[in-house]
Amino acid sequence: MFADEEGWHPMPDDGFIGHVGPIFVKHEGSVTLYGFLTEGKHRNTRGAVQGGMLMTFADRAMGQSIRDTFGPQPIATIQFDMHFVSRCGIDEVVTTRPQIVRSTASIVFMECELMAGNRTIATAKGIWKRLGSNPAP
């Protein structure tokens, strides 16, 4: 799906996202859009997309938005809230446009709304710690 859409590029990741992704990114001026196509591997026992996949997607999109804004640096999610609003089925395209709510020298507050077409399926908010160049192990 995304490979055929203008401007979408897969986010490289050979870790966990490599197993559950791919996640795609598209830059539209000053706005960055993230998306993925729900597949059978994302299904829960009721046939809907597993909430953990939606959480993973939101966490990665908001974290990457921080890196895009402040440059490549180590960060860590220190708080994350998600509200599931509507069922998401298989073969739907899920997108989000993360927003920075506030940032300090070491903390970034983020939020995003996950959409399937024109339908809100979830909302998320989180706090990230900017770890600097030498994070503790």
CATH number at residue 96: 3.10.129.10
Residue 126: inside a domain: yes
Residue 85: inside a domain: yes
Q: Which residue has the higher pLDDT, 38 or 5?
A: 38
**Of 122, 98, 126, residue with least CA distance to 112:** 98
pLDDT band of 135, cuts 50, 70, 90: low
pLDDT band of 7, cuts 50, 70, 90: confident
Whole-angstrom distance, CA of residue 57 vs CA of residue 34: 9
Residue 8: inside a domain: no
pTM: 0.90
What is the arithmetic mean of pLDDT over 39-56? 94
Number of domains in the chain: 1
Residue 79: inside a domain: yes
Residue 5: inside a domain: no
pLDDT of amino acid 33: 95
**Of 110, 124, 93, residue with least CA distance to 2:** 93
Residue 9: inside a domain: no
Please write the tens of the pLDDT for every residue from 88-111: 999 999 999 999 999 999 999 999
Residue 54: inside a domain: yes
Residue 136: inside a domain: no
Domain holding 60, by residue range, is 15-130
Concatenate the DSSP letters of all residues of 66-124 into one string. HHHHH-S--EEEEEEEEEE-S---TT-EEEE--EEEEE-SSEEEEEEEEEETTEEEEEE
> 133 pLDDT exceeds 80?
no
